[in-house]
């Protein structure tokens, strides 16, 4: 037998023995609907389009007629925010991504109908050139080279058109130098500077040869036609460089900082929050992360609900307040179910106690005036409180 007796201060299991204590202990990492942002793909292939995305099982592209019915189910479950990705399959892709902010294009149309129906929903629009450009890159090319100035001018134009359409937030995902400043100054010029937030994909990693981004590119039709994005997205090992990107975007007026991908970059989320504690931090659980969890669960390797909730809790624990996740509809459903289960259990307990109370009253031998509690039922000559009902089963 060990002779070591832990000091009383080392007895910690009392700190999380009850469910309420476990919840309080993890409160900083709690997942609520306000922490979840739904990425929404809107296509103009047809107004009635409902196109399942093979690489993202359970996720679809929606035509404008199907956006609201889908969203109404999510809002009912508590959805608070979305980010729109327009998928234009009708207009020709050109050098500057002209169809990104076409008045009749999917992004602007979606912003308008969604804000008209759900003014309380926080609607962000992803801002980039790649889904709409003939190069599939996030920049404008001149003579085979990225033209940073032309790119950020164009990005600011796209962002301001989304803002004019009613977006509450614009989220540049391109990683060009200076685009936050360009967008902020354009918004101010249009007197939208105080209304529209800028969520910067500030620490966006190239993710190797992009295994984590693969399924998204099928969803949004945004794969580059040549080369890759390692000249403007960050090398996966470059944490200090990521901090420079965050600081630069803070300096240019970003309202929210984002780390992308999420699960393999928890240290970056943590550092971002530590270095910029006054800014909300977003984490993008990207398409590859979704696919890994989905297929892992399908293969029986993990339980989907536990796996997904733990992955999101990890992002919250690392410091992210907002998580962009394709699991959002599923998680909202789970949170709703869990809340209902707690309520049902409470209701059952209340009913049980009420029933015992009636038994108690029946068995009382009168009333006693308690100095402390006032008039109380007497039982075997003593005043009793309601909680004694817990000890009553034998009298049922």
Q: Could you list the residues that contact Zn ion (CB under 5 A)?
A: 128, 130, 138
Please report how close the Cβ of residue 274 comes to Zn ion at its closest, in angstroms.
28
Q: How far is the CB of 291 from Zn ion (least distance, A)?
A: 20
Pairing of strands 60-62, 36-43: parallel
In angstroms, what is the minimal distance from the CB of 328 to Zn ion? 22
Is the CB of 74 or the CB of 135 nearer to Zn ion?
Answer: 135
- The DSSP letter of residue 235 is P
Residue 386 CA to its chain's centroid (Å) = 43
Q: How far is the CB of 333 from Zn ion (least distance, A)?
A: 31
Q: Cα–Cα distance between 163 and 181 in angstroms, integer?
A: 15
The answer to whether the CB of 332 falls within 8 A of the CB of 74 is yes
Give the alpha-carbon dihedral of 216, 222, 227, 231, to 10 degrees: -80
- Of the pair 81, 133, the CB lying nearest Zn ion is at 133
Rank residues 75 and 128 by Cβ distance to Zn ion and give the closer one.
128
Minimum CB–partner distance for residue 175 and Zn ion (Å): 8
* Active-site option among 204, 225, 305, 352: 204
CB of 174 to Zn ion, least distance (A): 5
Instruction: Between 66 and 161, name the residue whose CB sits nearer to Zn ion.
Output: 161
Three-state secondary-structure class, residue 256: strand
Cβ proximity to Zn ion, 170 vs 392, nearer residue: 170
Start-end of H helices in the chain: 19-25, 64-76, 106-117, 148-165, 179-189, 214-220, 239-251, 266-275, 287-298, 304-318, 328-363
The least distance separating Zn ion from the CB of residue 201, rounded to whole angstroms, comes to: 9
State the catalytic residue, choosing from 260, 340, 362, 363. 260
Alpha carbon distance 338, 14 (integer Å): 24
User: Is 326 or 379 the residue whose CB approaches Zn ion more closely?
Assistant: 326
Cα 25 to Cα 15, 16, 267, 315: the distances in Å are 8, 7, 21, 16
Toward Zn ion, which CB reaches closer, 130 or 180?
130
Closest CA to 39 of 82, 74, 93: 82
Whole-angstrom Cα distance, residue 126 to residue 144? 25
Please state, in angstroms and rounded to a whole number, the distance separating the CA atoms of residues 388 and 141. 77
Distance in Å, CB of 157 to Zn ion, minimum: 15
**Residue 40, Cβ neighbours under 10 Å: how many?**
25
Instruction: Assess whether 204 carries a catalytic annotation.
Output: yes
Kindly tell me which of 42 and 332 has the beta carbon lying closer to Zn ion: 42
The closest alpha carbon to 152, from 227, 81, 232, belongs to 232
| Contact (CB, 8 A) for 172 and 201 | yes
**Could you give the angle at the alpha carbon of 251 between the alpha carbons of 141 and 253, nearest 5°?**
80
Query: b or e along 353-389 (b: 16 or more beta carbons within 10 Å of the residue's beta carbon)?
Result: beebeeebeeebeeebeeeeeeebbbbeeebbeeeeb
Task: Enumerate the active-site residues.
Answer: 204, 260
């Amino acid at each position: 037998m060990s002779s070591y007796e832990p000091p009383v201060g080392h007895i910690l299991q009392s700190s999380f023995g009850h469910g309420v204590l476990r919840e309080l202990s993890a409160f900083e990492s709690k997942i609520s609907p306000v922490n979840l942002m739904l990425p929404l793909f809107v296509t103009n292939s047809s107004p009635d389009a409902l196109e399942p995305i093979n690489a993202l099982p359970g996720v679809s592209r929606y035509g404008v007629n199907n956006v609201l019915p889908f969203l109404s189910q999510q809002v009912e479950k508590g959805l608070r925010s979305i980010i729109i990705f327009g998928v234009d399959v009708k207009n020709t892709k050109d050098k500057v991504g002209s169809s990104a902010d076409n008045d009749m294009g999917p992004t602007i149309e979606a912003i308008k109908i969604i804000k008209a129906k759900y003014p309380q929903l926080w609607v962000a629009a992803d801002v980039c050139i790649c889904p709409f450009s003939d190069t599939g890159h996030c920049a404008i090319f001149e003579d085979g080279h990225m033209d940073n100035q032309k790119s950020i001018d164009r990005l600011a134009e796209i962002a301001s058109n989304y803002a004019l359409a009613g977006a509450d937030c614009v989220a540049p995902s391109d990683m060009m130098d200076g685009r936050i400043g360009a967008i902020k100054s354009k918004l101010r010029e249009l007197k939208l500077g105080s209304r529209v937030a800028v969520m910067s994909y500030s620490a966006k990693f190239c993710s190797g040869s992009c295994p984590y981004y693969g399924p998204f590119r099928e969803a949004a039709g945004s794969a580059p036609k040549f080369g890759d994005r390692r000249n403007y997205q960050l090398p996966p090992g470059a944490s200090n460089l990521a901090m420079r990107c965050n600081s630069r975007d803070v300096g240019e007026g970003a309202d929210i900082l984002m780390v992308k991908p999420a699960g393999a970059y928890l240290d970056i989320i943590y550092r971002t929050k530590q270095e910029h504690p006054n800014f909300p931090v977003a984490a993008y659980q990207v398409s590859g992360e979704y696919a890994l969890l989905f297929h892992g669960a399908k293969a029986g390797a993990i339980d989907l609900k536990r796996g997904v909730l733990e992955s999101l809790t990890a992002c919250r624990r690392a410091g992210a307040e907002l998580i962009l996740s394709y699991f959002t509809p599923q998680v909202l459903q789970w949170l709703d179910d869990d809340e209902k289960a707690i309520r049902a259990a409470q209701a059952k307990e209340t009913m049980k106690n009420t029933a015992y109370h009636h038994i108690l009253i029946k068995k009382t031998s009168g009333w006693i005036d308690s100095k402390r509690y006032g008039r109380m039922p007497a039982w075997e000559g003593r005043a009793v409180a309601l909680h004694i009902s817990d000890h009553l089963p034998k009298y049922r």
